[in-house]
């Protein structure tokens, strides 16, 4: 038998299947790109957070030492107590901000979900 292009319902079915597979491949590629972007964002965020905490920690310790030495003869315990209170307050504030950031979540896969919703709408099904 000679090879000839599919016509009729089998050709239409193959074309639809090809379109469906192409759309799925595009969505998977988009998911992969978003995952890579999120991984890079989190790595940069972690690095900058650690660096900032390190430098701010050094600055806070040296400031507390400077104040304590400056007030050594008259109010050294007061200086140490105030420095400790300040560090505890700043630590609680930082922990609160971190907890809010975690609670807010990330927008990972937001573009992919949006595209899948568009695909569903195009097929006549509302998400």
* pLDDT value of residue 1: 47
- Give 65-107 pLDDT, tens digit per residue: 999 898 889 998 898 888 889 888 988 998 899 889 888 877 7
Contacts of 27 (CB under 8 A, 6+ apart): 112, 115, 116, 119
- Give 50-68 pLDDT, tens digit per residue: 999 899 889 989 988 999 8
Q: Any long-range contacts for 34-40 (C-beta under 8 Å, 24+ apart)?
A: 34/108, 34/109, 34/110, 34/111, 34/112, 35/108, 35/109, 38/106, 38/108
């Amino acid at each position: 038998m000679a090879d000839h292009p599919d016509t009729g319902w089998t050709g239409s079915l193959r074309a639809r299947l090809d379109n469906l597979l192409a759309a799925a491949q595009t969505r998977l590629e988009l998911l992969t790109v978003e995952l890579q972007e999120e991984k890079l964002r989190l790595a940069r965020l972690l690095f900058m957070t650690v660096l900032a905490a390190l430098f701010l920690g050094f600055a806070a310790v040296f400031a507390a030492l400077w104040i304590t030495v400056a007030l050594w003869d008259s109010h050294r315990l007061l200086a140490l107590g105030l420095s400790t209170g300040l560090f505890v307050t700043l630590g609680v504030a930082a922990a609160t901000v971190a907890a809010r950031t975690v609670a807010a979540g990330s927008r990972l896969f937001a573009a992919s979900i949006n595209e899948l919703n568009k695909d569903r709408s195009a097929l006549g099904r509302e998400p």
